[in-house]
Amino acid sequence: MRAAFVALAPLRASGTVQYLSTRMPAGVMVILVVYCLRDLPLPEPRAVAPPAALAVTVGLHLWRRNALLSILGGTAVHVLLANTAFAH
């Protein structure tokens, strides 16, 4: 098992790995946002809940810089809107 960690040691010093470690989180988030918003039924009122939750998530994160708070706040807004104001 120790050999696996020894084999990974050169990767830690790799410029490519360091570059990807700084760029990948934002890229993954963009892909997830696009994936989640791509099939919204725009003419229907229920399409407001996901973008509203996204706005709350981004706003909370910019305000507090706390990932847990941002995720929980955005999820709570989405669940609240989807189950009350924009329920079928």
Decide: 11 and 17 in contact? Cβ < 8 Å: yes
> What band does 1 get if pLDDT is binned at 50, 70 and 90?
low
Whether the pLDDT of residue 22 is over 70: the answer is yes
Closest-CA residue to 71 (of 83, 61, 82): 61
What length does the chain have? Answer: 88
- The fraction of the chain above a pLDDT of 70, given in percent, is 94
Q: Is the pLDDT of residue 3 over 70?
A: no
Is residue 57 within 8 Å of residue 71, measured between CB atoms?
Answer: yes
- What is the per-residue pLDDT for 21? 82
pLDDT at 5 over 60: yes
Read off the pLDDT of residues 25-68 as tens digits, 9 standing for 90 and up: 888 889 989 998 999 988 888 889 999 999 999 999 999 999 99
